[in-house]
A and B are shown apart, each in its own frame.
Chain A
Amino acid sequence: MIDRKIRVVHYINQFFAGIGGEEKADTGFSLKTSPTGPGIILQNELENKGEVVSTLICGDNYFSTDLEKNAEKGFRLIEKYKPDLFIAGPAFAAGRYGPSCGAMCRIVSERLKIPAVTAMNVENPGVEMYSQHTYIVRTGVNSKDIPDIVRKMVKLSLALIENKPDPNLVPPDDCIPSPYEYDYFTRNLIRNVFTKESTAEASVGLLIKKLKNEPFKSDVVKPPFDKIKPANPIEDMSKAKIAFVTDGGIVPMGNPDGIPSRMSTIWKEYVIDDLLPMEGERQYEVSHRGYNNFEVLEDYNRLIPVDHARTFEKQGRIGKLNPTLFTTCGNVSIIKKSKIMGEEIAHKLLEQKVDAVILTSA
C-alpha cells in the first residue's frame, strides 16, 4: 500500500477533453496537468486518496492509425509523472477510443508495473484486443453512466493497489480481485482456489443439480467465439487458387516434425504429392488422439478430397490446387494458441496468393 496520495495519470480522447468531435479526431497528443472531462469525476471519486497529476489527450483517428506506435509515444509523454495508477476512458462502445485506451493501459502497466484500468462496452473491439492485457470494467453504451462507471474503476484500482491476498486463493496468484465482484472482463488468468468440497464432491453436486433442472454455476466458462466478417465469395472458380488446410493431424510417416496428437501448438506445411501420392505405398500417418484414425488411414480422401481436387484442377474446374497442405492436430487445443497458428497459416496462404481455403476437421 502507498502511504501518500496515489499519483494518477488519466487518458482521454479529443471528444471527452472538449477539443471537438469527429472534425477534431485527427488531433495529436497533448497534456494537461489538471483533471479534465471525466477526470473531474475521477478526481472526486478518488477523494483525498489520490490525485490526477496529468491528463493525456489524443484524437481518436490519430491514435488508432497505429496503436502500438502511438501507445509508445503516449507512454513517453506520461512516464515523467511517475504514476502509481493509470486510468483510461471510459470508452463505452467507441470503436477507436476503446483500442486506444487498451493499448495505453497495456503499455503503461507492462513498463511501469503499475495497475491500469479502463472501461468499455462488451461490443467494443478493444475488449477482445486488450482484456487479457489490462483491466477493463464493464459498461453500458450510455455516457450518462460515467459517475457509476468511474466509481467502479476507482474501486477496482484501489483493490489492485492494495494488493491484498484473498484467503480463498492459492499463492502466489492470490491478490487478483474477482472479475465478478469488481465487474470487469476476465483476463483469463486461471487461479487456484481453496474449496470446502473435493472436486469429486463438487462435480457430482453440480451434475445432480443439472439432472434435477436446478440452477447451477459451472466452474468452466465457455470461451467467447469471435465473430469474423465473412470473406467475399469467389467470382470465378476456374481462376481461383484453392488450398487445403486440416486439423485432422495428417503427417508424413514417422511424424518427423513431431506434431503432438493433443494440445498441439504447431502446424506444418507439406507437399501434397509427396504426402498423399495417388499410387504406391501410404506415405502418411495420423497424429491425433481425439478420434479413431482407422478410416482416414485407409483413405485420406475421407478427410481431404484431394483426388477429386486434382481432377478438378486438370479439368479447369478450379484454377489451381495449392501444391502444399497445411496441417495440425486440433485436439483439446488452446484457442489462444490456435488463433496464433491460424494467423501464421493465413499469412503463408496470402503469400502464396491463395484465393480460398477448404478447411477440414476431424
Chain B
Amino acid sequence: MVGANRILRGTNITYVIGDKDLSKEEERELNLKYLEKALEILQTPIKEQTIFVLG
C-alpha cells in the first residue's frame, strides 16, 4: 500500500484476514488476532514504514 507506514501482512490476497481451511470458530479466532494485532501496531512507535506479521 503506497504511503501506508504501519502494515500488517495478511493471509492471502483475495481475503486478507481469513482462512478457509480453518473451522468457522478457528477463523473467527484468527480474525480476532488480526484486529488485536492491528490495534497493537497503532500503539507502536515507528520511525519508518514497517511491515508487521501476526504471531
Contact partner of A359 (CB less than 8 A), chosen from B4, B20, B32, B49, is: B4
Kindly state the interface size class of chain B when it binds its partner. 20 to 34
Contact A296 B14 (CB under 8 A): yes
Q: How far is the CA of A296 from the CA of B16 in the complex (A)?
A: 9
Contact A308 B42 (CB under 8 A): no
Tell me, yes or no, whether A163 is within 8 Å of chain B by CB: no
Q: How far is the CA of A173 from the CA of B37 in the complex (A)?
A: 51
Q: How far is the CA of A154 from the CA of B47 in the complex (A)?
A: 41
Tell me, yes or no, whether A204 is within 8 Å of chain B by CB: no
Q: How far is the CA of A204 from the CA of B38 in the complex (A)?
A: 43
Contact B17 A309 (CB under 8 A): no
- Best-buried of B14, B15, B42, B49 by chain A (most CB within 10 Å): B15
- Best-buried of B1, B42, B43, B44 by chain A (most CB within 10 Å): B42
Contact B35 A308 (CB under 8 A): yes
Across-interface contacts of A248 in B (CB, < 8 A): 16
* Contact residues of A between 271 and 299, Cβ < 8 Å to B: 291-296, 299
Kindly state the interface size class of chain A when it binds its partner. 35 or more
Contact B16 A231 (CB under 8 A): no
Given contacts A233-B43, A338-B2, contact A302 B15 (CB under 8 A): yes
Contact A225 B3 (CB under 8 A): yes
Contact B18 A295 (CB under 8 A): yes
Across-interface contacts of A302 in B (CB, < 8 A): 15-18, 27, 31
Q: How far is the CA of A317 from the CA of B4 in the complex (A)?
A: 24
Across-interface contacts of A342 in B (CB, < 8 A): 3
Total A-B residue contacts, Cβ distance less than 8 Å: 89
Across-interface contacts of A294 in B (CB, < 8 A): 14
* Contact residues of A between 76 and 102, Cβ < 8 Å to B: none
CB distance from B2 to the nearest CB of A (A): 5
Contact B42 A234 (CB under 8 A): yes
Across-interface contacts of A234 in B (CB, < 8 A): 42-43
Across-interface contacts of A360 in B (CB, < 8 A): 16-17
Query: Using an 8 Å CB-CB cutoff, how does the interface string of A303-336 with B read, 1 for contact, 0 for none?
Result: 1010111001000011000000000000000010
Across-interface contacts of A295 in B (CB, < 8 A): 14-15, 18, 20
CB distance from A63 to the nearest CB of B (A): 27
Contact B42 A356 (CB under 8 A): yes
Q: How far is the CA of A342 from the CA of B3 in the complex (A)?
A: 10
Q: Give A contacts to B, CB under 8 Å.
A: 225-228, 230-235, 237, 240, 242, 248, 291-296, 299, 301-303, 305, 307-309, 312, 317-318, 335, 338, 342, 356, 358-362
17 contacts between A and B (CB under 8 A): A226-B2, A228-B5, A230-B5, A230-B6, A230-B50, A233-B45, A233-B46, A235-B43, A237-B43, A240-B42, A248-B16, A291-B13, A301-B28, A305-B35, A312-B35, A342-B3, A362-B14
- Given contact pairs A233-B45, A242-B42, a sample of 18 additional A-B residue pairs in the complex whose CB atoms are under 8 Å apart: A226-B2, A227-B49, A230-B50, A231-B5, A233-B43, A235-B43, A237-B39, A291-B14, A293-B14, A296-B15, A299-B18, A301-B17, A301-B28, A309-B35, A312-B39, A358-B35, A359-B1, A360-B16
